[in-house]
Amino acid sequence: MTLHELSLLLEINAKNCTQEFQRIFHGRGGLWEEYKHLTVDSIDTVISAAFYAPKEDEEAIIEMLQELMQNTRHDTLVVQRRYKGGTPSEVVREELPQELYAIENGMRFKLNLLSNQNSGYFPDMKNGRAFVAAHAKDRRVLNLFAYTCAFSVAALKGGAHSVVNVDMSKGALSIGKANHAINGVDTRGSSFLPYNILKSFSGLKKKGPYDMIIIDPPSFQRGSFEATKDYVKLVRNLDALANEECIVLACLNAPELTSDFIVSLFQEHAPAFSFSHRLENLSSFASSDEEKSLKNIVFVKKNAGFAIQ
């Protein structure tokens, strides 16, 4: 793909954007070798571009984005250089709104595009949140690695009885509480626990059992979680946390680990749960190898007596 071809593709995608968060270029999926270091998002009137490696055409891409914005709904351009220490962000054109939100299926989530790394919202998880919303009615939900609690908002919007949100970061949970308020979600009966999950199973069991469990850990976070050795600890404790009709959404975004990694863990360490299916990923996050992309895998208690679609 040439720079001109990239420009044409981005312009077509950008012209079709609405207020909703939309990834309009996902080079990280490996479909375009020349631009696998680049992602571009549309956030209402903001274009956000992230560079994951230094390339000679970086300034040319930034200039091209500013030119195409003249014919789209966008007026602000933010650039993040993820390859630099501290992953600095820069507002290249106009100014960011004081309050910026990612809009998804009628929900709003607070965004901080000038943060050192993560903005507070993971857009590739949209189908996962839709699944939770569709199956949460009247369920008691355990949301592990809740971060800014987008899953909790989706569950409560879907009619969940309650949600227990667990994350080590008090700051992330504070934003999570704000996300509930922004969406007019009543959190009475729900909780926000700043716990180290791997050391808190006994306390979580006392709050259970749960009808739905969401596991959405980082693939690697120094000092707190490493998927290759810690995911199994979560799976081993599921049966003690779950009721007889529990649904589990097990998530993982580690390119080096396949779906079989999770399925095998369940087969060996949580045999009471049966594999149901893997959720499809968004087409805007297409990958040259789906096993290297986001894995959202659904399991159901074997004696539940129902199937999940």
Would you give per-residue pLDDT tens digits along the chain (309 residues)?
A: 999 999 999 999 999 999 999 999 999 999 999 999 999 999 999 999 999 999 999 999 999 999 999 999 999 999 999 998 777 789 999 999 989 999 999 999 999 998 767 899 999 999 999 999 999 999 999 999 999 999 999 999 999 999 999 999 999 999 999 999 999 999 998 999 999 999 999 999 999 999 999 999 988 777 779 999 999 999 999 999 999 999 999 999 999 999 999 999 999 999 999 999 999 999 999 999 999 999 999 999 976 665 676
pLDDT at 305: 61
pLDDT at 86: 78
pLDDT at 85: 79
Tell me how far apart the alpha carbons of residues 208 and 203 are, in angstroms, rounded to a whole number: 9
Q: Where are the domains of the chain?
A: 3-110, 123-301
HSE, side-chain direction, 13 A CA sphere, residue 30: 8
Q: Return the C-alpha torsion angle 11, 17, 82, 256, nearest 10.
A: -100
pLDDT at 221: 77
CB 246 within 8 A of CB 304: yes
User: What ranges in 16-98 are assigned the alpha helix state H?
Assistant: 58-68
Beta bridge partners of 220: 226
Write down how long the chain is.
Answer: 309
CB 24 within 8 A of CB 17: yes
> Looking at domain 123-301, which of 3.40.50.410, 3.30.300.10, 3.40.50.150, 3.30.300.30 is its CATH number?
3.40.50.150
Eight-state DSSP code of residue 249:
E
pLDDT at 303: 66
The CATH homologous superfamily of the domain defined by 3-110: RNA methyltransferase domain (HRMD) like (3.30.750.80)
Helices and strands in the chain, H and E counts: 9, 16
